[in-house]
Each structure stands twice: as structure tokens, then as C-alpha cells.
Amino acid sequence: EVQVVESGGGLIQPGGSLRLSCAASGFIVSSNFMSWVRQPPGKGLEWVSVIYSDGSTYYADSVKGRFTISRDNSRNTLFLQMKSLRAEDTAVYYCAKDLFWNTISGVLTLPQSWGQGTLVTVSS
Amino acid sequence: DIQMTQSPSTLSASVGDRVTITCRASQTISRWLAWYQQRPGKAPNLLIYQASNLESGVPSRFTGSGSGTEFTLTISSLQPDDFATYYCQQYNTYSRTFGQGTKVEIK
């Protein structure tokens, strides 16, 4: 059974750093496409980042240059390193295993199997 | 970025009602559109991908249609479990975007 479990959230001061983890079971992270999506309290969903099976990474403009997505193949775990955190980064962060399609214009992916989320609160 | 606009923002309905939610894209996305259901305090659950393909395990009362810039999600006969918030998402580009959500409430 495919399962992902996030951890690492908490209260952090503005300007601080935090690393989120996403432990996977039932599939191999490095062979798949994985996303992070966040949801501020009481608001909608916002895509954050994706890592492809070939290691390519992409980010939302709102986090580009501050967040880094990566994976540890030996631990079958996905990470999101967050730096220079701002109040507007406060959200529940979900990781997900993606569906994917190979198209003429490239690979398209879509979050399919989501974890339960981990809450990050940026506040002084 | 492609903007996704859902309507309505809130919908009041009764068990057994037929319900339709609309999602419009600011530019064409072919059929690269998904629908998610989210219950309070829970992670989103994928319902439909590629505009009309039902995810495994999702009841057949959920149907999706559309292409280009206009899409719909229809629930043929609303059940108690269906009172939730629904989001569309385009994945035509790597910079995926969600609609703002439609909350389906009990009338």
C-alpha cells in the first residue's frame, strides 16, 4: 500500500529555517514524481514544488530561492528545506506521490496519494 | 501563471440533489485538469484526472467533463459523505495552480 507520512513541522520565527520530511512506504521515492502542496489555515491549496524521477526540480514563484526539494534514496524519504521563512509561509504542508504522463511537450504530473500533512507556523 | 476560477464559491444542497461545479482556466489547458475533494481536517482526495477519468475507488456518481478552458464536476445524487470542499487543479504546466475551492454545504 502506498503511504507517505510528513513530519518536521512546528513553530519557527520569521527568518528562520525548517526541514520537513516525508517518509514513503509501498513505493520507491527515487523512481517516482513527488510534490509538496501547502494550505494556509482556513484557505485554499497552493502547489509548492515537485521533483521528477530524473532529479529535476521546480518551484512556485512564491518560494523560489528559499525552499529546496530533495530526496534521500537510502531512506526512501522526501524533504523540503525551507529558509528565510515568512509569516505567509504558515500552512499545513502536504507531500504527495504524483501520477505522471509523458507527453509531446514533456512530463506532466499530478498529486495522487497524499499524506496527512504537517503544520508550519511562522510567528514571533 | 494560469489562473483557475471556480464557481460557485459556496453551494447549499440537500441529500439526493444533482450538483454541478464549474472551473474556468485563464488559458487553454487541453484536458489536463483534476478535481479533489477535501473534508475538514483531512488531506485532499483525488477524484478525477484528465478532466473525466475517475480515480480508482471513487463512486460513479462523480463525473467530470470539459476541455480547453471550461470544465465541470457533477455529483449525480449528493450523499452525506459528499459535503466537503472541492478544488480543481490544472497541471498543463509545471507551475500547477488550484481553483479557490467550492464548499458544498447542507441546505
The pLDDT of residue A106 is 86
A88: phi then psi, degrees, rounded to nearest 5: -75, -5
Interface contact flag, A47 B49, Cβ < 8 Å: no
Question: Measured between alpha carbons, how far is B72 from B76 in angstroms, rounded to an integer?
Answer: 12
User: Each residue of A20-46: pLDDT tens digit?
Assistant: 999 999 999 999 999 999 999 999 999
CB B71 within 8 A of CB B64: yes
The pLDDT value given to residue B94: 79
Chain B residues within 8 A of A111 when measuring between CB atoms: 44, 46
Percent of chain B with pLDDT over 90: 94
Q: In whole numbers, what is the pLDDT of chain B averaged over residues?
A: 96
CB-based burial label for B45 (10 Å; 0-12, 13-18, 19+): middle
Q: How near does any CA of chain A get to the CA of B31, in Å?
A: 12
pLDDT attached to residue B12: 96
Interface membership of A87 toward B (CB under 8 Å): no
Q: What confidence score (pLDDT) does residue B1 get?
A: 87
Mean pLDDT of A81-106: 95
| pLDDT tens per residue across span B26-49 | 999 999 999 999 999 999 999 999
